[in-house]
């Protein structure tokens, strides 16, 4: 390998790492503008509908030359859109009402669900380190959900349920993506944004009917609200594209470890922006969940 080729490869790895850290940074702070919109009067479903509408418009402008390939996808791809759409919507709804780090860590139980789904759906064998990862995930979940009290480890609030379902949806979408290698980055991004848009609209109509949709138009007349929505849409689109670039350039285990910086960013942001802290038991549970995530990915990389 020539020196110039090594330098090019090294630059690509640094660029890809920076792209993944940027994506983690976006997802670590995106909850805050959603909370600002909630304080103004827009519900999670309303703000999701508006922000992902803008993301779809931005994506259409970016990928207009390839829009034909985005539109003409197999019908099975819309199942991926539905699952990934719920993942993102449930995450937003959970993060608005729940404690940031609690939601984040319950969402990061996703490696547990991925191992279970891969075993059931893809018939992938389990190894001893993966069983250890499952045990660590379950221990972390018990500590997070009980907080050291003698009770059944059951979700304590709606945000807990939403965070858990978002993690399951994320795992399911990851497994489904293995069958969707024919889809381009543009198609995957647009399908996710379309899924959130459609589900947000359905949830909004179910919650408050047509009046809930009409209420949006009144509140979005404010330049302040519009500015926050544009910021969220920019974060969504850029994070999606940067992360997709990053995961194609560096090994999966390195990418997953870099993704964990999202938790650090979220913890710092939650402390300074929302004045939220975690108990020692919750911190211990979080450490178990993070360790399980790194272990499960490292085992998958070595297989």
CB of 292 closer than 8 Å to CB of 112: yes
Contact 234, 53 (CB under 8 A): no
Residue 185: the pLDDT is 72
| Least confident segment among 33-42, 228-237, 264-273 | 264-273
pLDDT confidence of 135, banded at 50, 70, 90? confident
For the chain, how far is it from start to end, CA to CA, in angstroms?
27
Highest mean pLDDT among 179-183, 186-190, 257-261, 265-269: 265-269
Q: What is the pTM of this model?
A: 0.82
Are the C-beta atoms of 95 and 103 separated by less than 8 Å?
yes
3-state secondary structure of 184: coil
The pLDDT assigned to 293 comes to: 72
Do 225 and 219 form a contact (C-beta atoms < 8 A)? yes
- In this predicted structure, which of 25-34, 83-92, 215-224, 235-244 has the lowest mean pLDDT? 215-224
Residue extents of the structural domains in the chain: 23-302
**pLDDT tens figures, 154-192:** 777 889 899 989 888 887 876 676 666 567 777 778 888
Instruction: Please provide the DSSP assignment of 119-153 as one string.
Output: HHHS-PPP-HHHHHHHHHHHHHHHHHHHTTSSS--
Count of other CB atoms within 10 angstroms of residue 297:
22
CB under 8 Å to 94, separation ≥6 — which residues?
Answer: 103, 107, 158, 159, 160, 162, 163, 166
User: What is the pLDDT of the chain when averaged over all its residues?
Assistant: 79
């Amino acid at each position: 390998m020539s020196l110039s080729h090594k330098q090019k490869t090294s630059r690509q790895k640094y660029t890809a790492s920076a792209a993944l850290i940027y994506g983690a940074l976006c997802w670590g702070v995106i909850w805050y503008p959603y909370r600002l919109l909630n304080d103004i009067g827009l519900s999670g479903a309303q703000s999701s509908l508006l922000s992902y509408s803008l993301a779809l418009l931005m994506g259409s402008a970016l990928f207009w030359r390839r829009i034909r390939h985005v539109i003409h996808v197999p019908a099975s791809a819309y199942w991926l859109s539905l699952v990934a759409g719920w993942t993102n919507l449930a995450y937003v709804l959970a993060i608005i009402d729940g404690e940031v780090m609690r939601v984040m860590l319950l969402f990061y139980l996703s490696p547990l669900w991925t191992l279970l789904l891969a075993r059931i759906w893809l018939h992938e064998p389990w190894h001893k380190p993966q069983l250890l990862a499952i045990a660590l995930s379950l221990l972390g979940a018990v500590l997070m959900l009980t907080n050291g009290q003698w009770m059944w480890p059951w979700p304590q609030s709606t945000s807990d349920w939403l965070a858990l379902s978002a993690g399951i949806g994320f795992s399911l979408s990851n497994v489904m993506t293995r069958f969707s290698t024919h889809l381009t980055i543009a198609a995957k991004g647009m399908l996710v944004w379309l899924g959130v848009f459609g589900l947000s609209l359905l949830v909004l109509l179910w919650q408050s009917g047509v009046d809930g949709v009409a209420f949006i138009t009144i509140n979005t007349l404010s330049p302040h609200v519009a500015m926050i929505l544009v910021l969220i849409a920019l974060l969504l689109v850029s994070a999606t594209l940067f992360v997709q670039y990053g995961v194609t350039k560096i090994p999966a285990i390195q990418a997953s470890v870099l993704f964990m910086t999202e938790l650090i960013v979220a913890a710092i942001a939650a402390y300074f922006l929302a004045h939220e802290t975690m108990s020692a038991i919750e911190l211990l549970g979080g450490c178990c969940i993070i360790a399980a995530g790194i272990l499960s990915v490292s085992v998958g990389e070595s297989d």
